[in-house]
Amino acid sequence: MTIEEGAKFVAAAYAIILAVLVIYYFMSARRVNALKRDMELLEQEVQRRPPAAGESGD
């Protein structure tokens, strides 16, 4: 194997690693956005809920 052939394999390996990292980043970003939406919905639900007996209005 010549250096030129080896360089092609190394470049392909780096390209695959980069693609995996980019996909992982976007999957993580989607998960974070979903968690933010869930938190906002939970906060709205808590604000709508009437206080239970014995709870202060703080």
Cβ atoms of residues 7 and 1 within 8 Å: no
Digitized pLDDT (tens) for each residue of the chain, 58 residues in all: 899 999 999 999 999 999 999 999 999 999 999 999 999 999 999 999 887 766 665 5
Which residue carries 């092609």 as its tokens? Answer: 8
- For residue 28, tell me if it sits in a domain: yes
- For residue 9, tell me if it sits in a domain: yes
Domain residue limits at 32: 1-46
Which residue carries 């202060």 as its tokens? Answer: 56
- For residue 56, tell me if it sits in a domain: no
- For residue 4, tell me if it sits in a domain: yes
Which residue carries 């007996």 as its tokens? Answer: 53
- For residue 55, tell me if it sits in a domain: no
- For residue 54, tell me if it sits in a domain: no
Q: How far apart are CA 16 and CA 28, in angstroms?
A: 18
Number of domains observed in the structure of the chain: 1
Between the CA atoms of 31, 32, 37 and 40, what dihedral angle is there, to the nearest 10 degrees? 150
- For residue 5, tell me if it sits in a domain: yes
pLDDT at 12: 97
